Structure 1
């Protein structure tokens, strides 16, 4: 919502999925990236809207630094957000059996954090690898009151990773993953 308001204030023209249901290119960051280019996103609270845009995109390019790379989703030990409706939120939290979670609150005011859609966020923390991401996704989304979760499974077409030694580009081509690396000297010299 902040991006929308800022764009409008600057006179930047905007559209929506109702008017343009297919997006040619989406570019965004991620909170975690696993070796299969699956992501955790939404720690900023806009996971539902971001997932709607990125799932409607022909290409979705993710730009991160190497600190976002994990061996498995949940590997950073940071939160994986789940957007829930406010009605009986505690019941929704309890239904996420076996997962440690807490209701997100605004750090400044201590009030319950609201998403762009007026929903709450439960932040889940994983002790171990959650296993099959599709099974975990389905199990979470089957619970009444759950709107969406922050696992972005199979949506990224390319991930650009900045690291201490240069830039690595990981791209999905069919079921294969192609990796290109460039040192900072390569980048300075125009490849």
Structure 2
């Protein structure tokens, strides 16, 4: 927890007055939102857009002003976590179920800062099940198509019921074990009808990777976009 917190606070140090900030979703993003709230209380002037209803609520509680997307000409920086990061800074995201909105924010940001602890670093993506957001219509057919790509796929449940995203879609968690070629899998998933978005976030999407370590160190990698 402290490693995530330290890394998130480092990410927030790149936010300056007048910025429009994209807020990710999940435990690491929550640390960043809280840190931004402390900055706002100290006089930091920002506006934010959130990748989920939960993050928007937390931001409002922290005193962060939420703006409307229709009023935006830019997002200066988005801060978010990841479930896995490989040596090329390709990511698996979506454990929190907000992958579609998270990817929209990341894609439309001048900088996308990813914050993780050392446990999220992997040699090859795939141990963490890849979240894929799918349409509820004919979900069983889409699930079969996902399985044909070589994974064990199941619809995510929460509290004994199907998990429903903020976009009223479902999430299929796809266990590949090893994703040898993230780019190839990305293209295969993108072609499947019923797939609304996938949790593969491939380079050069990430601008900066900040890693928190259990010994208190914070590694800050700038990645050219």
Under a length normalisation based on structure 2, what TM-score does the superposition of the two structures give?
0.70
Stretches of structure 2 lacking an aligned partner (at least 5 in a row) = 1-52
Question: Match of 2:82?
Answer: 30
Would you say how many aligned residue pairs link Structure 1 and Structure 2? 169
Match of 1:148 among 194, 197, 221: 197
Are 1:158 and 2:208 an aligned pair?
Answer: yes
Question: Match of 2:188?
Answer: 139
Max Rg structure: 1
Runs of 4+ aligned residues of structure 1 deviating over 6 Å after TM superposition are none
Are 1:171 and 2:222 an aligned pair?
Answer: yes
Are 1:100 and 2:152 an aligned pair?
Answer: yes
Query: Within 1, Cα distance between the matches of 2:181 and 2:79?
Result: 26
CA RMSD of aligned residues (A): 1.6
Match of 1:123 among 151, 173, 181: 173
Q: Tell me the SS of whatever aligns to 1:62.
A: strand
Query: Within 1, Cα distance between the matches of 2:130 and 2:63?
Result: 34
Deviation (angstroms), 1:87: 0.6
Are 1:63 and 2:115 an aligned pair?
Answer: yes
User: Cα deviation per residue 1:90-136 (whole Å; 9 max; x = unaligned)?
Assistant: 10010011211110000x2x1100001000000011122x2332221
Stretches of structure 1 lacking an aligned partner (at least 5 in a row) = 175-191
Query: Within 2, Cα distance between the matches of 1:5 and 1:124?
Result: 29
Q: Tell me the SS of whatever aligns to 2:128.
A: coil
Under a length normalisation based on structure 1, what TM-score does the superposition of the two structures give?
0.82
Higher share of residues assigned strand: 1
Query: Within 2, Cα distance between the matches of 1:21 and 1:120?
Result: 30
